[in-house]
Amino acid sequence: MSGYQIDFSIDPLVHFERLLSEALSHSILEYNAMSLATVDENGQPNVRIVYYKGLVRGGLSFYTNYQGQKGRELEQSKKVCVNFYWPQWNTQIRIQGEVEKLKREESEAYFKTRPRLSQVGAWTSHQSDPIQSFDEFKLKLQEKERSFVGQEIPCPPHWGGYMIKPSSFEFWFGREGRLHERYVYEKIGSKWKTYLRSP
């Protein structure tokens, strides 16, 4: 993104929201997709795409099954890293921090906005567990769907949101000759330390 300027006097969340808003206004596909990195009990990193769902009390929110692989990993280590990448602009935002679960009422409110099939799926799937076949899973999905006919589907107790409390931001702008511009914010106490990184 050639025209965007990072002013270190501005809070990094303001830059983050401005860039995200720009991506949305330019109809960038999956503009809110972020790679989420966690670590298992053996120190093995795992990364997958999740969807950013807005700021909650200054933290980045996303939703998942608490009993799945990433949920289990987040229980044993709260430290995470997420990365947004928009190849059309050759721009990345990398954010490190720690997670905490959202309030139950926040998860329930968001769950109500999900498509009904996604709601049924949240009740049916034992996320990340092995299955015999996808056909067998679809049969279980249909059975669960029938059990909710004519009623609102409640949020499962094992499903909900997290917020990432940022401890660092890196705003990365790709440049010709790999002479990339890298602007860093690091949280020291209640203040942000700022500096540029070498390409």
Residue that has been written with the tokens 């997420």 in this structure: 82
State the Rg of the chain over Cα: 19
CA 160 to chain centre: 13
CB count within 10 Å of CB 35 equals 15
Q: Considering 48, 178, 182, 197, which one is annotated as catalytic?
A: 178
Could you confirm whether 18 is annotated as catalytic?
no
Strand partners, 191: 188
Q: Which two tokens stand for residue 172?
A: 């990365």
Total residues belonging to the chain:
199
- Beta strand 55-56 pairing with 159-173: unpaired
Which residues are known catalytic residues? 178
